Chains A and B, each alone.
Chain A
Amino acid sequence: MNTSVIAIDNIRAAVARRPAELAVARQAGKKVVGWIGYNIPEELIHACGLIPIRICQGGDNRLAEIGANYISTQNCFFLRQCIGLFVERQDPYVRELDALATDTTCLQLYRMATLLEHYFQTNVIFLGVPKNREVPEADAYFTQEVGQFLSQMEKMAGRPLDEGSLTRTLKLFAGIRQAITQLYEYLANDRPLISWRDVLEVVQAGYCLDRAQYLILLQELLGELAERAAAPCRTVERRVRVLLAGSLIARGDTKLITILEECGARVVGDLIWSGMAPFVNLAVKEYSLAGLVAAYYSRLPHGAIPHMEVDNDDRLIVLQELAKKTRANGIVYYSLRYCDPFSFKVLCTKNAMKRIAVPLMEAQTEYSPEDTENLRTRVEAFVEMLDCAQARREWQDE
């Protein structure tokens, strides 16, 4: 894969400059709101004139061990590392936070946030999320919670939300979502125009960059990819096409990505909450607070939201559709140890994918390096299995 895409280098440079920019902005009186969660309406932070930063660092076993001094080791590695980040305060984004917003989608996350509040006096802003969207009270509850969340943002900003500002923000974020969707379409192209590692890096750059600048950089990248797609190409792509699903793969958590690349698999898409999942079915139809609430309320549910009927579970339906759309040969289901919302769903997801003849393999792992070779064997064997099945199909077609 030729990764010398100029726009990606520009995004990397912007990310490298960002901590210094944040420090300057704070000195000038701007406030930074970090968020960890799955249903935080980031648009409200932005529209109030605050700087939203999604905290999403992973892959560091040392920090996860530090976090384990404060939370049980039977909580997922990502959250343990989050605590580690707040213990050390070396991360440039954690250092610059004025408040941390979090939601109650994942109860491990909620527990972690209460610990940050208790041990490190972090200013935590909680957003309640209904667990059962089937009952009529759920909608009203979420509307009320978002209203309270907005009040806290307004308080931090020292001014009420301006309607014009909200509209501009909603348009900006809609543009970002559209650009990310297009980026994933290039990823799934017959020709390898961009690697999944790069796509993930680009998506995650958006967690910290100024959103208006980010959209410009995304458009620059899409322009470059369009040129690449139009250029003639003679090489035939033979790598097996893999789709990623399951737990969140945070910035710095590169174990699985590296193994997949080394095993010769091509990742053509994902449905993870640090990748494409937050952009799926999140359409703000009306540029207003009510429109924003409705969009978040009806978005793709996170794995921690209960849904008892497997046959009409949106998450499984979306994954099936994505597997078909990306023509994936198989699905690697990333299961971060103790990430219960996703680990518990492996079997039903596997069975759902079996119905469309797409094999699924669970890649359960953690941030420590001990299981690297074990994981490599599992992934490599899965890629061999898919490769063999593809060769048989080609042979039959001939």
Chain B
Amino acid sequence: MLKKKNEALFVGVDIGSLTTKAVAYSPSGIIVTAMIPTGVIPEKSGREILENVLASADVSRKEVNAVVATGYGRITAEYADKTITEITCHAKGAHYLHASTRTIVDIGGQDCKVIRLDEDGNVADFAMNDKCAAGTGRFLEVISQVFKISLEEMGTLAQSEAPLVPINNTCTVFAESEIISLLARGERAESILKGVFRAIASRVSGIAARIGVDGDVFFSGGVAKNCGMVAALEEVLQCPIVSLEFDPQLVGALGAAVLASELRVKS
């Protein structure tokens, strides 16, 4: 989508632990999106993605009305007009995409959050994992390395009719050992993967129990792209997950861009 002439432009930059995303947004809609792996220096990744979206939108930094940075690398984003946590940004992004969202499950590279929203898309409550990265994107990456398959293939395999083999650990290190033992015992990869997704979903369910799940449930973050994870979450939470065309990994950046536009309105 192209920006209309003289229309305001806002950019949201989400510097996550594994990927850095950006969304350029104008009141008429989403102009352009971009995503790159987060490098060793998050500040550099943030600047790079900002340049990428500006180049794709064919605008200069001066033409951008406001930039909001979010994600764990936000504190390094001196180029942004404001930094806002990913919790607030995911809420805003999910509400923008699906206004009746009342619960968000966000599983990113190294953390997992459950967020409750009010009818205006404001955060009403949230719960988040602590420092342990169990059951997050990084966890799935390690498991995919054990099976030597892609994350997408993991999801597809887990959709098979094979019986589930329970996985007792969501600790990345212990789960890896447990899976190797199960493979050595002759268990099928499909069954083990089903167990992996179920274990993560159960952990998310534990976090969700602290604040409750209500209304339409939205799944954001990179892990939401995995069909195996979506199915496991629907099963454990016993509710359907909102299905949209928009890339769930970009929801935080989108929310940041929408919040940037609200900053402009307020000022």
A residues lining the B interface (CB < 8 Å): 347, 359, 364-365, 370-371, 373-374, 376-378, 380-382, 384-385, 388-389, 392
Assess whether B122 is in contact with A389, with CB atoms less than 8 Å apart.
yes
The answer for the CA separation of A381 and B127 in the assembled complex, in Å, is: 10
Q: Is the interface of A mostly helix, strand, loop or mixed?
A: helix
Assess whether B85 is in contact with A371, with CB atoms less than 8 Å apart.
no
**Shortest Cβ gap from B149 to chain A (Å):** 30
Assess whether B128 is in contact with A374, with CB atoms less than 8 Å apart.
yes
**Shortest Cβ gap from B12 to chain A (Å):** 15
Contact sample, A vs B, 22 pairs, CB 8 Å cutoff: A347-B210, A365-B130, A371-B130, A373-B72, A374-B128, A374-B129, A374-B130, A374-B131, A377-B72, A377-B85, A377-B86, A377-B87, A377-B111, A377-B128, A380-B85, A381-B86, A381-B123, A381-B126, A384-B123, A385-B88, A388-B88, A388-B123
Residues of chain B in range 209-258 having any CB-CB distance to chain A below 8 Å: 210
Residues of chain B in range 114-137 having any CB-CB distance to chain A below 8 Å: 122-126, 128-131
The answer for the CA separation of A392 and B122 in the assembled complex, in Å, is: 10
**Shortest Cβ gap from A357 to chain B (Å):** 12
Determine whether B84 belongs to the interface, using a CB cutoff of 8 Å to chain A. yes
- Tally of B interface residues using CB under 8 Å: 18
Residues of chain B in range 73-90 having any CB-CB distance to chain A below 8 Å: 75, 84-88
Assess whether B85 is in contact with A384, with CB atoms less than 8 Å apart.
yes
**Shortest Cβ gap from B111 to chain A (Å):** 7
Residues of A near B125 (CB, < 8 A) are 359
Question: In the complex, which of the residues B111, B126, B128, B130 has the most CB atoms of chain A within 10 Å of its own CB atom?
Answer: B130
Residues of B near A364 (CB, < 8 A) are 130
The answer for the CA separation of A378 and B88 in the assembled complex, in Å, is: 11
The answer for the CA separation of A365 and B131 in the assembled complex, in Å, is: 9
Residues of B near A389 (CB, < 8 A) are 122
Residues of B near A371 (CB, < 8 A) are 130-131
The answer for the CA separation of A359 and B122 in the assembled complex, in Å, is: 14
Residues of A near B75 (CB, < 8 A) are 373, 376
**Shortest Cβ gap from B67 to chain A (Å):** 17
Nearest CB to that of A360 among chain B residues?
B125
**Shortest Cβ gap from B137 to chain A (Å):** 15
Nearest CB to that of B210 among chain A residues?
A347
Assess whether B123 is in contact with A378, with CB atoms less than 8 Å apart.
no
The answer for the CA separation of A8 and B86 in the assembled complex, in Å, is: 38
Question: With contacts A370-B131, A377-B87, A377-B128 known, is A385 near B210, CB below 8 A?
Answer: no
**Shortest Cβ gap from A325 to chain B (Å):** 24
Residues of A near B84 (CB, < 8 A) are 384
The answer for the CA separation of A382 and B116 in the assembled complex, in Å, is: 12
The answer for the CA separation of A389 and B86 in the assembled complex, in Å, is: 18
The answer for the CA separation of A37 and B70 in the assembled complex, in Å, is: 42
The answer for the CA separation of A336 and B126 in the assembled complex, in Å, is: 19
Nearest CB to that of A376 among chain B residues?
B75
Residues of B near A385 (CB, < 8 A) are 88, 122-124, 126
The answer for the CA separation of A32 and B87 in the assembled complex, in Å, is: 50
Nearest CB to that of B211 among chain A residues?
A350
Q: A377-B111, A384-B85, A392-B122 are in contact. List 20 more A-B contacts (CB 8 A).
A: A359-B125, A364-B130, A365-B130, A373-B72, A374-B128, A374-B129, A374-B130, A376-B75, A377-B72, A377-B85, A380-B85, A381-B85, A381-B86, A381-B87, A381-B88, A382-B126, A384-B88, A384-B123, A385-B88, A389-B122
Query: What 9 A-B pairs have minimum CB-CB distances, sorted nearest first?
Result: A371-B131, A381-B87, A381-B85, A385-B123, A384-B88, A380-B85, A370-B131, A377-B85, A374-B131
Assess whether A378 is in contact with B128, with CB atoms less than 8 Å apart.
yes
Residues of A near B111 (CB, < 8 A) are 374, 377
Option from B122, B131, B210 in Cβ contact (under 8 Å) with A388: B122
The answer for the CA separation of A389 and B122 in the assembled complex, in Å, is: 8
Question: In the complex, which of the residues A373, A381, A392 has the most CB atoms of chain B within 10 Å of its own CB atom?
Answer: A381
**Shortest Cβ gap from B254 to chain A (Å):** 17
The answer for the CA separation of A380 and B123 in the assembled complex, in Å, is: 12
The answer for the CA separation of A235 and B15 in the assembled complex, in Å, is: 36
- For B126-159 the 0/1 string (1 means CB < 8 A from A) is 1011110000000000000000000000000000
Residues of B near A365 (CB, < 8 A) are 130
Nearest CB to that of B120 among chain A residues?
A392
The answer for the CA separation of A63 and B233 in the assembled complex, in Å, is: 41
Residues of A near B210 (CB, < 8 A) are 347
Nearest CB to that of A346 among chain B residues?
B210
**Shortest Cβ gap from B248 to chain A (Å):** 19
Residues of B near A347 (CB, < 8 A) are 210
The answer for the CA separation of A363 and B5 in the assembled complex, in Å, is: 47
The answer for the CA separation of A389 and B118 in the assembled complex, in Å, is: 11
The answer for the CA separation of A347 and B211 in the assembled complex, in Å, is: 9
The answer for the CA separation of A385 and B128 in the assembled complex, in Å, is: 15
The answer for the CA separation of A371 and B130 in the assembled complex, in Å, is: 7
Residues of A near B85 (CB, < 8 A) are 377, 380-381, 384
Residues of B near A388 (CB, < 8 A) are 88, 122-123
Residues of A near B123 (CB, < 8 A) are 381, 384-385, 388
The answer for the CA separation of A371 and B210 in the assembled complex, in Å, is: 20
**Shortest Cβ gap from B103 to chain A (Å):** 15
Residues of A near B131 (CB, < 8 A) are 370-371, 374
Question: In the complex, which of the residues B85, B123, B125 has the most CB atoms of chain A within 10 Å of its own CB atom?
Answer: B85
The answer for the CA separation of A365 and B72 in the assembled complex, in Å, is: 17
Residues of B near A380 (CB, < 8 A) are 85
Residues of A near B72 (CB, < 8 A) are 373, 377
**Shortest Cβ gap from A56 to chain B (Å):** 24
**Shortest Cβ gap from B220 to chain A (Å):** 15
**Shortest Cβ gap from A242 to chain B (Å):** 16
The answer for the CA separation of A371 and B129 in the assembled complex, in Å, is: 10
**Shortest Cβ gap from B20 to chain A (Å):** 16
**Shortest Cβ gap from A1 to chain B (Å):** 22
Residues of B near A378 (CB, < 8 A) are 126, 128
The answer for the CA separation of A97 and B122 in the assembled complex, in Å, is: 54
- For B23-38 the 0/1 string (1 means CB < 8 A from A) is 0000000000000000
Nearest CB to that of B90 among chain A residues?
A381
The answer for the CA separation of A370 and B111 in the assembled complex, in Å, is: 13
